[in-house]
Structure 1
Amino acid sequence: MSPAAPPVPPSAPRPAALQPLLPSDPSSIAGYRLLGRLGAGGMGVVYLGRTDNGELAAVKVTHADQADQADFRARFRREVEAARRVSSPWAVPVTGADPDAPEPWMATAFVPGPSLGEAVAAHGPLPERSVRILGGALARALAAVHAAGLVHRDVKPGNVLLAVDGPRLIDFGIARTTGETALTSTDMVVGTPGFLAPEQAEARAAAIGPPSDVFALGCLLAHAATGRPPFGTGAVDALLYRTVHDEPDLAGVPDGLLDLLRACLAKDPAPRPTAEEIADRLTEDTPGAPADWLPAPVVRTIAERSAAMLALPEIDATRLGASEGGGQAPPSRRRFLLLASGGAVLAAGGGVGAWAALRDDDKGRKAATPGGKRRWIIGVQADLTGPAKDIGRAQERGARLAVERFNARADKPFTLEVTVSDDGGDDRRALAAARVLTGDPDVLGVLGPTSDYTGLAALPAYDEARLPLITVSAGLNLLTNRATGQGLSVLQACPQHAIAGTHVAYYVLNKTGSVRPGILQERTDDTYAWQYIGGANFAFRQGKVAPVPRVVPGTTTDYKRVLGEMIAEGMDAYVHCGLTPSAVLAARALDELGFTGMKASGQHVFGPRFLAEAGEAAEGWILGAPVVDPATRKEASAFVAAHRKRYGAAPAYYTGESFDAVNLLLQEVEKIVKGGKAVDRTAMTTILRKVTYKGVMGDYAFDPEYGSLSSATVGTFIYTVENGRFKPLEFAPAGPPKNRRV
C-alpha cells in the first residue's frame, strides 16, 4: 500500500505494540522491572517497565554506541531537561532518568492508549467534538511548553497518545529553548515533513518559535478531522515544497473549525494565534463531559489495551539479581512463560519472538545435520498472495534454486534450507512477517521484501536484529537512509527509483535527440513518482534540455486534455512518472492524439497489466526495469536450464536477480566458514557492502556506507513493447549524448 493510499480500517483494533524481551535485554533498569518492548530502532529501545508499587512507565534506553558520540549525551540531557520543565496534565511527565549512565535512559508515565495516528488509520477521522477537545488539550500542553521557554518542534499524530480522560503530548527529543540554535545546523530541517511549519521546512532556524508549533498543531487537527495530512504524503522534498508554497487541503474539515485551522496554517508566523488563544476558541462551545470525548471504537481500543496491561505478570516476590559470575542474570524460561501468558497483548504482538526465546528444549535442532554439518536458513520475505504475487513467487523460486544448487555440492561446508514469510504485499503485515525471520537465530540473511512500503514497514525488525536484508525490487531511497538512523541492514541489489528515472531519461535523449521531452508525475504513489521525476529532470538538465512538465492528482482521468496541452507546447517525447493505471490512460490518450514521439516509463509500469489493459496503445512504449531477461545472458544458461528442470518453465523476471542475491550472501558466508571463523550474522551487512559479485545476471557492488547499488554495476534494463510482449533491448546509457547541440 502506498503512502498516498487512504487508510483501510481493519476489522478489529490493532493490539498494543508490545513485544517480548529478547535474551540480550536486561531484566530491570534502575528499579524498573522490564515487561516487554514497546519499540526499537537504530538509536535504542523503548521498554515497558514497572516499579515495585505497580506503576507502569515507558523506559527509553539508548544504544551504547550512540552514547559514545560526542554530542549525543548533551542532546539526551537536553531532552530530559526539556520534558521536566513542562508542567501540564496533557503532557506525559518524566518519572526518572540518567543521562550519564553507560546506556542513557529516561522513563515517562505510560499511556496504554493508541497514538492519534494509529486511531485515525484504524477508525478514520474523528468527529468535530472530538477534534475540538483534542485541540483544546494539546493547545494547553503547548502553552505550558511555550511558558517554559521551549518549542516542541515535532507536534505530529505519532507524538499524541489518546486516553479516556484526554490526549497526552509526548517526545521532547528535538525540543529547544526559544531562540536556541547552537546544536542545530542552520541548514538542517528539523521535524516531521507534513507536520512542520514553512520556516522549519526552509531551515530558517532564527524564525522557529512557538508559532511553528501552532502551525504543526493546525496540520495535526486537519489530519484528525479529515484522515489525511493537509499537505499530502510522499517524498520529503515534495512535502517541504508544498508546505512552503501550496495551500493546505482542508476539504472535509467541519465549518466550525475551518477559520481557526486556516489561521493556524498561515505561511507567515506573525498572524498565527497563540496556543492559549487556540485553547480558548476550541473549548468555549464544547458541551458535555470530557470522559466521552472519543468515538466508541477508539474507546474500545483503549479499554482493550488497558486490560492487557492489567493482565501482565505480577511482580516477583524476590528481585532478579546478578549471576554468580557477577554479570546480569539471563532471562529465565519461567519469566518468558509468564510474559507469554500475560494476555492477548503479548500473544498477538510478539508470539514469534516469544517462541524464539523459549527454544531451550530445541537447542541444537538445526545446529547440525546427520552428517555433522551446520545447517543454516535463508529467509525470504515476499508478497506471495497480494498484488505483486507474481514477483514474490519469482523471488522465492530464485532463492530456492540457489539453496538447492548449494546443497547439491559434495564439498559444501554447511547445509541450507529456506523459510518463507508471506506479507501479502500489505505494509500492515510486513513487520510481523519480518519478525518470523529475525526471531530465528538460524536465519543467515533475508531476500526481500517485494515492494517499497512492505520493506519500509519491516525495516525496524531487520535493523534491530542487524540481519542482512537484500532486496532486488524495492527501490525506495528511504530504505537506505542513514540520516534517519534506518537501513543499517539493507543492500539494494537494484537501482533506486531516482537513479532509474535518470537512466530512462538518458535513454530517451540518446535515442531520439529530443529537445522538448514531456514529463508527467501522477500522484497516486507520490514517493515513487516524485523520485522518478526527480531523476528524469536531473538527466534532462545534464542533457541541456528544458522539459514540458506536468503534475496531476492520482484521480485524474482526462489524460487526453493534459497530454494535448503538452503536445501543443512542443512535446516531442514523453516520460510517464507514475503507476500502471495512469500509464494505461496516458497510452490510450497519446494513441488517440496521434503522438509519434518516444513514450517511456519505469519499473511500476513494467508488467503484464500494462500490456493487457493498454492493448495496442502499448505498442512501441519503452520501459525501464531493474531486471534482465535471462535469455539474453549466456552466463545464465545453466540457471535457466535448472529452472526449467525444477519448475517446467523459463524463469520469470526477478528470479535470476534473486538467485544472484542469495548466492552473493552464500559466497561470503562460505569464505568465513572455510577461514575457520564463526559466522556472525550481525556483521554480514558490513561485509556484503564491500563485495563485488559476478552473478549470472550481471555484476553487483554496493555503496559501503548506505548499501545502495553502485552506479558502476547492474543498472536499468530497457524493454520495448512489440506485438503485445516485452522485447529486451539493452542497458540504459550512463549519461546524455556527448557533444549534444541544442
Structure 2
Amino acid sequence: MSEPLLPTDPASIGGHRLLARLGAGGMGVVYLGRTESGSLAAVKVIQSEFADEPEFRARFRREVEAARRVSSPWAVPVTAADPDAAAPWLATAFVPGPSLEEAVRRHGPLPVRSVRVLGRMLAAALSEVHAAGLIHRDVKPANVLLAVDGPRLIDFGIARAADETAITSTDLVIGTPGFLSPEQAEARGAEMGPASDIFSLGGLLAYAATGHPPFGTGTADALLYRTVHDEPDLSGIEADRSEGSDDPDNPEDSELPALLRRCLAKDPADRPTAEHLGAVLLIEDAVPEGGRIDWLPEDVVRSIADRSAEMLALPDIEPTVSDAPADEEPASPSRRRLLVLASGAALALAAGGTAAWAVLRDDDTPAKPTARRWAIGVQADLSGAQRTAGRAQEQGARLAVEQFNARRNKPFELTLKTADDGGTAGRAPAAARKLIQDADVLAVLGPTNDQTAHAVLGAYDEARLPLLCVSAGGLVLTRNEYRSFVHCRPSDAALSLPMTVYLLRQNAALRPGLLQDRTAQTYAQETASINAMMLRQMGSPAYPRVIPAGTDDMGPVVADMLRAGISSFIYAGYAPGAATVARELAAAGFDKPRLSSQAVIDPAFLEQAKEAAEGWVLTSSFVDPAAVPGSAPFTAAFRKRYGAAPGYYAAEAYDAVNLVLQELVKATKAGRPPRRQELAGLLRKSRYKGITKEFSFKPEDGTFAGWGIFLHQVEGGRFRFLGAAPSEV
C-alpha cells in the first residue's frame, strides 16, 4: 500500500521523480519513483541520522554491491544506486504485488502445488545468490514479493560474501527470528554458509503451506531456542507424492513435508543445496519453453491484480518543501481551496503538522476567521469482531472530550474524530492515514488489537503523532524504538506475573500445570513463558504442555497433566480453548485453582464452558467501572450520556484522553497547544492518577511503568471484579 509524500520528503532522488511512499523502517524510507523514461522503481533512502555513521554506510554499500552481483529472474534487480551520496540510496525494479507474508495472512496457506513452484523458483534465485559468493541471511516471507509470473526475492540488506569477514559482530544474531537457521540463532558466524539460506527457505515454504511459522511465534528468545532445539511444526501439510518420481522408495524426494524437514535439518550438512532442491521440485512443475505457469490460487491472483491496479494508478505529484515553485501561477480561488504558505514561518508550521489554511469563497471574499477546533483521534474496531471493545473506547473518549468542552476556562475547544479499521490489519493503514493527514488531530487513542496496532505503529511514528493504546498489549508492539507510542497498560506478558503470586498465596503452587495453546500464537507464548519463568524462580517449576493450533480434543493432554499430580492449572490461550479445557477439568472433578488472563474474559468462555467456568480466576489490564468506588461519577455520567453501563475499556479510554488533556492544558501557550512531536515527549514523562490506575511511563520507549493489573473471577455465570491483583507474596 502506498501513502502520500510528506511535505518534508524530497521531490526526486538520483533522477527518480518521487510519487509516493511505499514504507518506512528503522534505517530509511522506501519511495515509489519514476525515471525520465517512465519506468517505476522502489527507491530506498537511508535516513540522514544514519548516513554519517561509517558502519551504516558500509552496510548500505555492501547491500548495493551484493544485489548487483545477483542475476536471476526471481530476484529483484538493482537499477541504480549511489551509496556515497549525502543521503545514500538504492533503486530496484518495482514489483506491485503483495509479499508472501501478506498474501498468506489475508488468504491463508497456499496449495501444495503452489508451494512447490514457489520453492523451485526461490531455489533458483538462491542458486544465483550462492554462485555469486553471497549468503542472503534473511530469507523470510516478507522478503518475497508475488507476481503472476513468479516470486521475486528482495532485500540483500544483510547479505555478505561467503569469503569475507562480516562487518557485524561475531556474537550478534543477524536475521529474523523464526526464519533463521540454528547457526544464525547461536551466532556461529564461522559455520554460516549457503546451507543457512536453505534452512530459512524451508521455514518460508513451511509458512506458505501451513499459514504459521514452523517454530511458532513469541519473543525472540523463545523463537531462537525453539529453532535450535525443537522440531518444526509442519502440521497442516498434506502429503504430496509427485507422479513419475524415478525413486518411489525415497519419499524424501517426493513428499513436501519430508523435503521441508531436510531443509530444516539442524546440521547444515544434512540440508540439500539450492540446485538439488530446485531439481527435486522441478519434477511436475516444469514450465514449457516460452510458456507461463498458473501457479497461484485465484484469490491471490486477484489480490495481485488489485494491488497492481492500485499502485500503477500513479498519484498526482504532491508539492514538497524542496520543489514548491516560488513563482507558480495559482489556480483561480473561485474553483478550489488553496493551501497558503505565505511565509517561511507558515512553511515550518506545515512541516510540523499545523498547516495554515486560507479558505476563499467563490466570490473571492475572505471568510471571517474562526477559532480552530483541535481534535483527539480514535482509531478502533467499530464494526468488526471486537467492536464491543472498540465502541466502548470511542464512547469513553467522547465523554472525556465533551466534559472538557463544558469547562468554563478551557484554553480551546476540542472535537473527537474517529477512524474505523474493522479490527483488521488490512484496513488499519487507511484508518491511520485519515487521522495522520488531519493536521488538527493532536493525539490518537487506539487501535483495538495487536494486529491493527502493529500495522500502523510505523506510520504514526513517522508522523510523530502520539498514539496511546489501552487494549493492544503484545510485547511485539515495543520491539522497535518508536518515538510517539505511549502504552497505557501493562503488557500481556506482565499479566502473567500475579498468577504465581496468587498460587503461592493459595498454597497451590507445589506442582502447577501450564498448558500453552498455540492457537493463540504470540499471546499464548508470552503468557506461558512468563509463567514458567516466574514459577521456576519461586521454586515451583510448572508441569508444561504445548498443544498444536486448532486442537479440539483436550482430553488426552488434560488427563496427562492430572496423572502428573498438578495442584493448580494455568491456561495460556483464547476463550474457546479455555472453555474446552474447563469442561475437561470439571468432568475429571478438578476444582483446584484454575487461572488464565484477559483474553478469556469473553462472553464466549461463559457460554461454552457453562458451569465448568465457575471459580476460574483471570488477570486483566482493565477494570469493571461499576465495581470501582472511585469511578462512580464516571459511571453515572456514562449512563446518562449513553443509557447503559460502561463496558470494558471505556474507563481506560476516558482516563487516557484525560491524561492527554492534562498535558495539553499545561503546555498550551496563547491558546495554541503543543505540536505533535512535543506532546509525545510530554506524555511519556507524565504522571496521571485516573479512575482505573495510576499512569506513568518509561520516557525512553513509552512503555507502561505502573502496576495496573486486576483480578476477575467467574461467579454465578458472570465475571466478578475482585480488584487489584497481588504483587507480593
Query: Please, what TM-score do these two structures have when normalized by structure 1?
Result: 0.85
Structure 1 residue 560 displacement after superposition: 3.8
Say which SS state the counterpart of residue 380 (structure 1) adopts.
strand
Judged with a 3 Å threshold, the aligned counterparts in structure 2 of structure 1 residues 468 and 321 are, in CA distance, closer, same or farther, namely closer
CA contact (8 A) 2:110 2:297 kept: no
Distance 1:168 1:236 in 2: 27
Say which SS state the counterpart of residue 72 (structure 2) adopts.
coil
Match of 2:578 in 1: 583
Distance 1:321 1:625 in 2: 49
Which of 3, 7, 12 matches 1:28? 12
Judged with a 3 Å threshold, the aligned counterparts in structure 2 of structure 1 residues 564 and 675 are, in CA distance, closer, same or farther, namely farther
Query: Is 1:405 aligned to 2:403, yes or no?
Result: yes
Structure 1 residue 444 displacement after superposition: 0.9
Structure 1 residue 330 displacement after superposition: 14
Which of 438, 442, 451 matches 1:453? 451
Distance 1:81 1:615 in 2: 63
CA contact (8 A) 2:508 2:593 kept: no
Distance 2:552 2:110 in 1: 31
CA contact (8 A) 1:73 1:99 kept: yes
Query: Is 1:557 aligned to 2:552, yes or no?
Result: yes
One-letter code aligned to 2:716: N
One-letter code aligned to 1:629: D
Say which SS state the counterpart of residue 576 (structure 1) adopts.
strand
One-letter code aligned to 1:465: A
Query: Is 1:202 aligned to 2:186, yes or no?
Result: yes
Deviations 1:268-327 (A, max 9, x none): 0012222233333333654442523433735555555555566537999xx99855779x
One-letter code aligned to 1:458: V
Say which SS state the counterpart of residue 18 (structure 2) adopts.
strand
Match of 1:254 in 2: 240
Distance 2:307 2:513 in 1: 52
One-letter code aligned to 1:643: F
Match of 1:71 in 2: 55
Match of 1:527 in 2: 522
CA contact (8 A) 2:582 2:613 kept: yes
Match of 2:703 in 1: 708
One-letter code aligned to 2:573: G
Q: Where does the alignment leave 5 or more consecutive residues of structure 2 unmatched?
A: 242-253, 337-352, 362-366
Say which SS state the counterpart of residue 47 (structure 1) adopts.
strand
Distance 2:259 2:78 in 1: 32
Match of 1:468 in 2: 466
**Superposition pairs of residues 74-89 of structure 1, within 5 angstroms:** 74-89=58-73
Say which SS state the counterpart of residue 491 (structure 1) adopts.
strand
**Superposition pairs of residues 116-515 of structure 1, within 5 angstroms:** 116-126=100-110, 130-178=114-162, 180=164, 182-250=166-234, 251-252=237-238, 254-255=240-241, 256-258=254-256, 259-283=258-282, 286-289=285-288, 290-295=291-296, 297=298, 298-303=300-305, 305-306=307-308, 311-312=313-314, 322=323, 373-482=371-480, 485=481, 487-515=482-510
Q: How many residues align?
A: 688
Deviations 1:660-689 (A, max 9, x none): 101111111111114777621123222211
Judged with a 3 Å threshold, the aligned counterparts in structure 2 of structure 1 residues 676 and 504 are, in CA distance, closer, same or farther, namely same
One-letter code aligned to 2:667: I
Say which SS state the counterpart of residue 222 (structure 1) adopts.
helix
Judged with a 3 Å threshold, the aligned counterparts in structure 2 of structure 1 residues 582 and 678 are, in CA distance, closer, same or farther, namely closer
Which of 675, 679, 684 matches 1:680? 675
Say which SS state the counterpart of residue 96 (structure 1) adopts.
strand
Structure 1 residue 397 displacement after superposition: 1.2
CA contact (8 A) 1:599 1:622 kept: yes
CA contact (8 A) 1:23 1:357 kept: no
Distance 1:149 1:330 in 2: 56
One-letter code aligned to 1:628: V
CA contact (8 A) 1:560 1:593 kept: no
CA contact (8 A) 1:703 1:709 kept: yes
Judged with a 3 Å threshold, the aligned counterparts in structure 2 of structure 1 residues 180 and 477 are, in CA distance, closer, same or farther, namely farther
Match of 2:251 in 1: none
Match of 2:244 in 1: none
Say which SS state the counterpart of residue 562 (structure 1) adopts.
helix
Match of 1:730 in 2: 723
Q: Please say which of residues 405-414 and 714-723 is displaced more in the overlay.
A: 714-723
One-letter code aligned to 1:271: D
Q: Please say which of residues 203-212 and 93-102 is displaced more in the overlay.
A: 93-102
Say which SS state the counterpart of residue 696 (structure 1) adopts.
coil
Say which SS state the counterpart of residue 33 (structure 1) adopts.
strand
Judged with a 3 Å threshold, the aligned counterparts in structure 2 of structure 1 residues 320 and 294 are, in CA distance, closer, same or farther, namely farther
CA contact (8 A) 1:431 1:459 kept: no
For the aligned residue pairs, the C-alpha RMSD in angstroms reads 3.3
Deviations 1:396-447 (A, max 9, x none): 1110111011100111001111111122222222222222211211111111
Judged with a 3 Å threshold, the aligned counterparts in structure 2 of structure 1 residues 499 and 179 are, in CA distance, closer, same or farther, namely farther
Deviations 1:507-551 (A, max 9, x none): 222233521121111111110011111121222123211222111
Structure 1 residue 261 displacement after superposition: 3.0
Deviations 1:174-211 (A, max 9, x none): 11222655432344332223322121222222222110
Distance 1:503 1:188 in 2: 34
Match of 1:627 in 2: 622
Judged with a 3 Å threshold, the aligned counterparts in structure 2 of structure 1 residues 129 and 476 are, in CA distance, closer, same or farther, namely closer
Distance 2:573 2:540 in 1: 22
Q: Please say which of residues 607-616 and 44-53 is displaced more in the overlay.
A: 607-616
How many percent of aligned residue pairs carry the same amino acid?
Answer: 55
Say which SS state the counterpart of residue 98 (structure 2) adopts.
coil
Deviations 1:238-265 (A, max 9, x none): 4333322333344225223535433322
Distance 1:679 1:719 in 2: 39
Distance 2:688 2:154 in 1: 46
Structure 1 residue 23 displacement after superposition: 2.7
Distance 1:333 1:516 in 2: 79
CA contact (8 A) 2:710 2:722 kept: yes
Judged with a 3 Å threshold, the aligned counterparts in structure 2 of structure 1 residues 239 and 618 are, in CA distance, closer, same or farther, namely same
Judged with a 3 Å threshold, the aligned counterparts in structure 2 of structure 1 residues 395 and 331 are, in CA distance, closer, same or farther, namely farther
One-letter code aligned to 2:139: V
Judged with a 3 Å threshold, the aligned counterparts in structure 2 of structure 1 residues 590 and 306 are, in CA distance, closer, same or farther, namely closer
Say which SS state the counterpart of residue 437 (structure 1) adopts.
helix
One-letter code aligned to 1:689: R
Distance 2:648 2:303 in 1: 43
Say which SS state the counterpart of residue 291 (structure 1) adopts.
coil
Match of 1:343 in 2: none
Distance 2:329 2:382 in 1: 38
Q: Please say which of residues 260-269 and 498-507 is displaced more in the overlay.
A: 260-269
Judged with a 3 Å threshold, the aligned counterparts in structure 2 of structure 1 residues 49 and 686 are, in CA distance, closer, same or farther, namely same
Q: Please say which of residues 174-183 and 384-393 is displaced more in the overlay.
A: 174-183
Distance 1:230 1:626 in 2: 31
Judged with a 3 Å threshold, the aligned counterparts in structure 2 of structure 1 residues 223 and 577 are, in CA distance, closer, same or farther, namely closer
Match of 2:631 in 1: 636
Judged with a 3 Å threshold, the aligned counterparts in structure 2 of structure 1 residues 224 and 363 are, in CA distance, closer, same or farther, namely farther
Distance 1:617 1:304 in 2: 48
Distance 1:68 1:330 in 2: 39
Q: Where does the alignment leave 5 or more consecutive residues of structure 1 unmatched?
A: 1-16, 338-355, 738-742
Which of 690, 699, 703 matches 1:695? 690
Judged with a 3 Å threshold, the aligned counterparts in structure 2 of structure 1 residues 333 and 168 are, in CA distance, closer, same or farther, namely farther
